[in-house]
Every structure is written in C-alpha cells, then in structure tokens.
Structure 1
C-alpha cells in the first residue's frame, strides 16, 4: 500500500474523520516542530561557538576593518567611513573605508564558515559614545575558541600597522578617551633642542622607569612616575613631550583641567582608564586652580572657573585608588603658583627648567636648519650675535626666524638678528 492509499483509507475511517485523527496529526506536528527546535538549540549549544563584540569594546572597530579587508571582501552590503590624509606633497587625499553594514554576512576563515551579524539598536544609545548601540556577533561551527583569539589578534595587528611610526593623540570625551584627529608622524627627539643634558636626562629616566616594573613591585613602591617641566612660554615644554612620546612609541592623553565639565570624580576615572602605553599631559597646570598659599583676592579671581579641586587632583595622582604604570607630565609657565603639595616627591619625581636659549641651543638649532662647508663657524657667529643683544629669546622665536630665512643666504641670517624681537 502506498502512502496516498494509506491517507485515503484514513479519510474513510469514521474515528479519524470525527476529529480525533486530525488532533493526533496536529499534536504530532507540534511535537515534531518543538523537537526540531530543541534539537537546533542543542546543536547550537554544543556544536557551534558564538562571539559577541559590543561597540564599546576597543576591538570593535579593529574587527570591522579586519572583516572588510581580510574576511568579507565580496560582501555587497557596506557602510562608508570617509577620512582625509595629507600627503608629503601637501595635497589632501580623500580616503573611503568600506565596512560591513548592518545585517548578515558570510565569510570563510581558518577552514570554517562564519556568520557575521552586525546589529544596531536605533532606540538605544551608548551613553559613553553618544551613538546608537551596536554589536557584531560571530557564529562558527565547532567548539574551538582559538579561532576567535586568532581573528582578534590579526585585527589588532592590522590596526597597529595602520598607526605604525605615528603618535596617537587622545582627548577626554565624557567618561572615556577618544582618538583626537589623525595619528601624527612621530617627531624625532633630536628635533626639540633643549639645553645640554636635559633631554637625555628625562628620556633616560622614562626608559629606566618603563623597564623596571618588577623592581617597583618587589619593594612595594607604586609603579608610576611624574614629571614637571617649567619655564617661560615658547621654550619647548609641550613639543618635547610630543617628541618623547614618539621616542618611547607611546600615545599622548591630553587632559584639559580647566574644562567646566571636569570634576574630581571624572578626573580620577579618566586617569584610571587611560589607554596603555600613553603619556598623560596636563598642560598649564597652574591655570587649573590656585595655590592654598594665595591671597583671598587671588582666590576670588579664580573662583568658579572649574570644578576640579586641588585635593581631588592630589588623590587622583597618588591616592589609594590611583592607577599603576602611569607616566604623567605637567607643564607650567609659573612654578611659584603651584602648591607645594602638588610638586612633592611621589607626585613629581623629576623637575626640569626649560628656559630661554643658551649658546648650546642656538648653535644646535642653527646646525639643524642650515648646512654648508662653514656651518660650524656660522653657527658660532650666530650664537655670538644673539647673545650680544642681552635679550632673552625662546626657541619658538628662533624657529620662527629661521622659517622666514629658510632660503636666505647665511650671511643675511646673521645680519638681521634684530628681527628676532620685532613681533
């Protein structure tokens, strides 16, 4: 008997036709459907592996770029990210980066097919980033988690390669750090000419600190280091920190203490979650608040400018909740305005005065800008002519003067020294 004959005989059966047979078939179909759903859930639980990457995770953008370049090149559903890069010729190049858009994508990696689902919650915002909440979910056959470890590591290496030889700047955005602008070409440390021995002293101290974490741990000493660069404006304090970050292959976290939205709690949180291998730069620290030794009139002048207190900064720098492995640079034009508690050892471990140009700096800067057979003689004569004026001059003034005369005859550079103080 065939299946069609069997069904026809069931239709002629009075009990089946009365409804009990139809009920039995419906019940069987429901049980079969539920059984298949349970089997699918069981299969996904034991024979498939899923990874969810939220947009707040640092690897989120790395993963999207990696999927585009390595895994899902043939996908037809894309989103665009437009950026601008300045070429060596001075022209600005527009770059379009295509990343997988929201939806489902299929890719092949490590001998395994992987389903990529990018979802966006239009009604849910990431409070830290101020953008719709997004996730990328990866689903693959098998139980080996290493496939995702390898994938994320490749994505990280790809991201690092794009910033190789560059310095990343970060700024505080609400309660997190975000890259500021495009990564910058690393500035050579030798391009910032400080007085003899100062640059080497600071850079050697930083390198010694970075290489001796175990020494600090064994002796129970907090593993952090603070530096203070003080002196007149335009003498290279901030420029040196930028060049030093390039020398150490570190990024820079720019922290504006005078921001009205900054308070003690936010300051402490930002210092504790600063990206790894970065220098935290607090520029013009004297402008953040007044010293406890200032007069009432001076305190009244600064009242209400910000919400950061001195005690809040002191606790953030070396309180019980302060982070480890941190390098902090502070700069100021007025050392006498700083509270003694802020610059004591433990908070500031090395202080250096970055002042107006000395003979050594004048000669070194001249030799960096010009060349020729009589370069040493011209450099010495240039330094003599500047020092004869008995007027202080900053490296910024010297550099600006050289930029004006970059194509001039060297004798003309020597003959127009008075132009240094015109502006």
Structure 2
C-alpha cells in the first residue's frame, strides 16, 4: 500500500491577522484484492485516533467555563439545521467568588444541601429519591444572586451553562439545549461533551426573559379580551383537557384559548406535551424539560427572579425546586461577618456594637454589594464605620 500527499496552501482573506489556511490532500492506493476495505479501515483508524486525541485534550483541560449559546445556524430547506451541534461562546471562570465571601442566613443550610447532593448522602442517598437539584434565588438587585451562582459552581467544581429563555423559540430548542450536552466551539473540530454532573444550568431573571413562566391566572386575566377576538381553533382532545383544567382553576370558558396558548398544543409526546418542529416555547414544554420522562441525574438548575410572586406555581413547586432562597438586604450580623472577612481581623465588642447601633437607628436598607463596596474603599475598620454611619443619616 502507498500514498501521496499534495499540499495546496491558500490565504484566508477573511482572517484579519493574515493567517494562512493549508489544505493537505492524501491520495491512498492499494493493489490488494480487498483494497477498498483496507483503505476504509485505515481512514477510520486515523479518524478514530484523531477523535481520541481531541477528547483527551478536552479531558486534560481542568479549567471551568461559562457557556453561552451562539445564534442558531440557518436552516436548510427541509427545516433541519446545517450543523447538528449547537454553537457556544465560552468564557473562563475564576476561583475568586466562593462561599467565604458570601453572607446570608441560609448559607450553612445550602452548603449542607450541596454536600449531600455531591456525595449522594442524606435524602440523595436514598434509592428512588430524585437525584437532581433546583434552586430559586429571589430578591432585589445587588443582593448576591449572581455571586451565589458563581459560588455554587466553584464549590461543586462545575461549568455554568447559561440558558436564555428570551432567545429560545420552541420547546424542541429548549430540549436540545438542556439534554444534548454537546458544546460546539469556534476553532474546534469536535464539540466538548459534558455530563450533567459537570454543569450548573442557569436561567437568570426568568420573569423578565419570557412570559411562559408567568402565573397562568394573571396571564389569562391580562389577555382574556384578546382571546375572544382571535378566532383560533385547537385540537378537540386538547380543548377537553383545557376545559377540565379551567373548571378546576375557576376560569371562564372564554379564557380557555389563552390557557391553551400558555400550556401549549399536544402532538408527539415526550413525557408531557408536544415537541414538534414548530411548537412555540410554552410552560408545558418548560415543565417537561424540568422533570419529564427524560431523566437528568446529577443536574443542578438555578433560576433567579426579582419577582417570585409572578411565577407560575407549577414552575417552582417542590420536586422542581429543592430550595428557595431569599437574597435580601444585609443585616447587622452579616455586615459584621463581611467586615471581618475583608479586613481580616476580629471586630472588637465596641465595633460590633457600633454596627448593631447603625442598623437599629436607621430605616435605610443596604444591599450586600453596597457594604462590600465600602469594605473595598477603606483600609481601616473605623473609617468604614464612620462612612456607614454617615450614609445611614442621609435621607
């Protein structure tokens, strides 16, 4: 057997750096009776060797990343995407944000929950108990929701995959993002493959990202007038289900169409409702991804919102959300702990009392981010306490 190689070099005019792209063409020949089989086997072995080398390189990389989906590639005439793997942008995660620099009342309870989850102990060690975790973080801006996400990822040694509901159009697209676990990157011939046990999925500000998460009663009340004018028809079986559901919820028959829009039509079922080629993203599709028939052992999902009262109860019920954390304004005790962390000293009894007095004598609320900024601005505890007292006097 033998082979020749031709090297046809060419400039890549689209590369601003003036890099050259080379194409190497191998001509394989064989005079053996089973030449075709021999050449095919050789090519397959070579390709397998290359794949193994790429996979080994991915495994060798111990860095953690945040993955954000890139725009979906254009579709072909038959509706299929030109590439079978979703493209992502990824950004390196630092090790700076940890639980040591976070101060909230339920920190120990959350860390104990994470320990049990990672070690499959406690309830997570019981056969049949769902091995997945859902967290809902809520509270005003600046209270540490994003910092807590980073800390959870750092503590569990996982990557972060950001899921933006605002960019997702169909239930199938959401299903692909949450279950394919293959991350195509520019400059990489093969996608990075990660397991559920290596990822923290994040849906930030879900109340702002999509209406599908909103409470159905509120959505129906806001759009009932529109439904009477739509002239829209639905499948008979789905209408029957919706009428039953509307009676249970105390919804008038005129609002059934809007309820159908929120829950979604039903075609080919995968543990819930439809995942057809044109099925618009809806609450049913989201709920099916969270805990449908397709399992996701080891998955951590964190959702954040500023308005938990606006979310549909089905989205955040027990079983889908293991723990709800209110990330509120900082209090005196948390301020003391933060000061001791950043100033690397133990506060005196007088300084602790000064912090307590400041919070006791003001109606002003402070976010953890504000107190953290004061700790960064001043090198001396006394100076920071003086500035904190001044801020509390400002109306």
1:231–1:333 Cα contact (<8 Å) kept: yes
RMSD between superposed Cα atoms in Å: 4.2
Q: TM-score, normalised by structure 1?
A: 0.57
Could you report, residue by residue, the CA deviation over 1:328-387 in whole angstroms, capped at 9, with x for unpaired residues?
A: 111111121111111111111222222111222111111222246766643542343244
**Counterpart position of 1:211:** 119
Q: Distance in 2 between matches of 1:368 and 1:214?
A: 31
1:190 aligns with 2:92: no
**Counterpart position of 1:264:** 171
Q: TM-score, normalised by structure 2?
A: 0.61
Instruction: After TM superposition, list the pairs within 5 Å mapping 1:336-351 onto structure 2.
Output: 336-351=309-324
Instruction: After TM superposition, list the pairs within 5 Å mapping 1:21-36 onto structure 2.
Output: none
- Gapped regions of structure 2 (runs ≥ 5): 4-8, 27-42, 73-83, 182-193, 226-257, 262-278
1:367 aligns with 2:357: no
Could you report, residue by residue, the CA deviation over 1:52-93 in whole angstroms, capped at 9, with x for unpaired residues?
A: xxxxxxxxxxxxxxxxxxxxxxxxx9999xxxxxxxxxxxxx
Deviation at 1:229, TM superposition (A): 1.5
CA 1:341/1:155 → structure 2, altered by over 3 Å: closer, same or farther?
same
Could you report, residue by residue, the CA deviation over 1:81-106 in whole angstroms, capped at 9, with x for unpaired residues?
A: xxxxxxxxxxxxxxx9x99954279x
Q: Distance in 2 between matches of 1:201 and 1:362?
A: 19
Instruction: After TM superposition, list the pairs within 5 Å mapping 1:140-219 onto structure 2.
Output: 151=53, 154-158=56-60, 160-161=61-62, 163=63, 167-173=64-70, 174=72, 180-196=89-105, 198-212=106-120, 219=127
Deviation at 1:152, TM superposition (A): 5.0
CA 1:352/1:218 → structure 2, altered by over 3 Å: closer, same or farther?
closer
**Counterpart position of 1:251:** 159
1 or 2 for the larger relative contact order (CA 8 Å, sep ≥6)?
2
2:132–2:300 Cα contact (<8 Å) kept: yes
1:369–1:402 Cα contact (<8 Å) kept: yes
- Gapped regions of structure 1 (runs ≥ 5): 1-39, 45-76, 81-95, 106-136
Equivalent in 237, 245, 248 of residue 145 of structure 2: 237
Q: Distance in 1 between matches of 2:57 and 2:320?
A: 37
Deviation at 1:172, TM superposition (A): 2.1
Deviation at 1:278, TM superposition (A): 0.7
Could you report, residue by residue, the CA deviation over 1:376-417 in whole angstroms, capped at 9, with x for unpaired residues?
A: 6435423432442122211112123333x234x433322222
2:67–2:89 Cα contact (<8 Å) kept: yes
Structure having the higher strand fraction is 1
